Amino acid sequence: MAAKKIKPCEWCGKMHEVRMADLKRGWGRFCSKTCKAMKQEKRTGQNAAYHARQERRENGGEFVYVGGFGPWDDHKDC
């Protein structure tokens, strides 16, 4: 059986069991994928930036071409 260690989650502090092999890889820092995702979001802000882009697109704040297909098709004779 694999050697294990009891360790606190770096996000919520909950104690969880981690395999020693995973600790050596640098894994096992969080008790769940949710805690890992929350820590990563705080560090990078990627999810918030994604949702801001989605909201701008839904509100028509991004590229809108009327009467054409955009600058990548301007050279074509329609």
- Domain coverage including residue 53: 4-58
CA distance linking residue 15 with residue 50, whole number of Å: 32
Residue 35 lies inside a defined structural domain of this protein: yes
Number of domains in the chain: 1
70: left (phi over 0), alpha (psi -120 to 50) or beta: left
For 49-77, what is each residue's pLDDT tens digit? Answer: 888 888 888 876 656 566 666 666 666 66
Whether the pLDDT of residue 3 is over 90: the answer is yes
pLDDT at residue 48 greater than cutoff 80:
yes
Structural element, H or E, at residue 8: strand 4-8
Query: What pLDDT does 55 receive?
Result: 85
Domain-embedded: residue 64: no
Q: Residue 39 is encoded by which pair of tokens?
A: 């820590």
| 11 in any annotated domain | yes
pLDDT number for residue 13: 96
* 23-38 confidence digits (pLDDT tens): 999 999 999 999 999 9
Look at residue 34 in the predicted model and tell me its pLDDT.
95
